[in-house]
Amino acid sequence: MSFGRSTDKASRQKRYAKSKLRLRTILARLYRGEVLSMRDLATEFGVSLRTVQRDINERLEGFPLARDGEKVFLDTLSRSDALNPEEVAALELLDELSRKQGHAFYAKIHPLLSRLRREAANPFYAKLYMEDIGDKLHETVLLEQAIRERRLIRARYRMEEKSKSVDLKPLKIANFEGFWYLIALDARNDRLKKYLLRKLSQIEITPETFEVSKKLETSIERAVNV
C-alpha cells in the first residue's frame, strides 16, 4: 500500500511539473507578442483542448489575455498603462516605416503594432527610399543576437562575383541614406569596417565574446554618414 501511494504521489508531481512548464511556455510566448491557437497548443503539448482551455480561462485568469475565437493573445490595452495619443502616433509611424523593409519584416511587425493600437487606418505615409532587406530577416535576427551578447560571428561576404570568409565583432546594424550596413570590427586587426547587410550570408554566432570601449560606441552613435 505504501508503495502504491508513493507511485501516485510521484505521478501527481510529474503532472504538476508538466503543467507548470506548459503554463510558463504559453506565457512567455504571449509576452513575446505571439497569437496562439488553443487547438495548436493542445497538439503541441499532447493534452486535450479542454486542458488548454482550462489553462487559459482558469489558471491564467489573472493575466491580461484576450481571445478571438480559439486564438489568444496578450491584451496590452486592458492594462492601466494603455497608450496615450502620442504613443499611438509613434506606433503608426513605425508601422508605416516597417512597410519599407519588405514583406517579411512588415508581416512580422504589422500584427504586433496593430494589437497595440486601436486605430483602423494609419494616417502616416512615408515616401522615402529604403533598401528592401525582407529576405535577410533571418540574418538580421542573428546579427541582433550577436550584437546584444557581444559575440564574434563568422560569415561569408560577397564582393562582386566572389565571396570571402570574415570574422567580425558586430557593433551596430545601421541605415545610411536608405542602405543597411553592419558596422563591425575586423577580428583580425580590430579595424572598424562597414559591410552591406544584403551581402552577408552563412552567419554563425561563435562562443567567443569581446569588449567595446565607450568611446567607440559613442563615436558610432554620433555618425552622420557611413
pLDDT of residue 103: 57
Q: How far apart are CA 26 and CA 48, in angstroms?
A: 15
Q: What is the mean pLDDT of residues 33-56?
A: 91
pLDDT of residue 194: 92
Cell matching residue 49:
483542448
Angle ∠(216,191,129) on CA atoms, nearest 5: 75
Q: Name residue 156's beta-bridge partners.
A: 165, 201
86 or 122: whose pLDDT is higher? 86
Domain with CATH 1.10.10.10 in the chain: 2-75
Residue 78 CA to residue 117 CA, distance in Å, equals 12
pLDDT of the residue at 122: 52
Q: What whole-number distance in Å separates Cα of residue 76 and Cα of residue 13?
A: 34
Residue 116: predicted pLDDT: 55
pLDDT at residue 112, as a whole number: 61
Which has more pLDDT, 101 or 200? 200
For CATH 2.30.30.520, the residue range(s) in the chain are 134-221
- Cα separation, 129 vs 142, in Å, equals 25
The dotted CATH code for 134-221 is: 2.30.30.520
CB-based contacts of 137-144 (< 8 A; 24+ apart in sequence): 137/104, 137/105, 137/108, 139/197, 139/200, 139/201, 139/203, 140/173, 140/197, 142/203, 142/205, 143/170, 143/173, 143/182, 143/197, 143/200, 143/203, 144/173
Can you give the pTM of this predicted structure?
Answer: 0.47
Q: Is 11 helix (H, G, I), strand (E, B) or coil?
A: helix
95 compared with 30, residue with greater pLDDT: 30
Q: In this predicted model, what pLDDT tens digit does every residue of 143-172 receive, in sequence order? A: 888 988 999 999 999 988 888 999 999 998
Mean pLDDT of 74-87: 58
Q: Label residue 99 exposed, middle or buried (CB < 10 Å: 0-12, 13-18, 19+).
A: middle
Which one-letter DSSP state was computed for residue 9?
Answer: H
Longest CA span, the chain: 78
Cross-strand partners of 36: 72
CATH architecture of 2-75: Orthogonal Bundle (1.10)
pLDDT of residue 179: 84
- Would you give the distance in Å from CA 52 to the centre of its chain? 25
Residue whose entry in the numeric block shows the C-alpha cell 563591425: 184
Measured distance CA(41)–CA(65) in Å, rounded: 16
The per-residue pLDDT for range 176-224, each reduced to its tens digit, is 877 888 999 999 999 999 999 889 999 999 999 999 888 888 887 777 6
What number of other Cβ atoms are within 10 A of residue 155's Cβ?
A: 25
Question: 195 or 32, which is more confident?
Answer: 195
Residue 102 above 50 pLDDT? yes
Give the count of beta carbons closer than 10 Å to the beta carbon of residue 18: 13
pLDDT for residue 105 is more than 80: no
pLDDT greater than 60 at residue 46: yes
Q: In what order do the strands lie in the sheet with 200-209?
A: 192-196, 179-186, 162-176, 151-159, 200-209
Share the mean pLDDT of the chain. Answer: 78
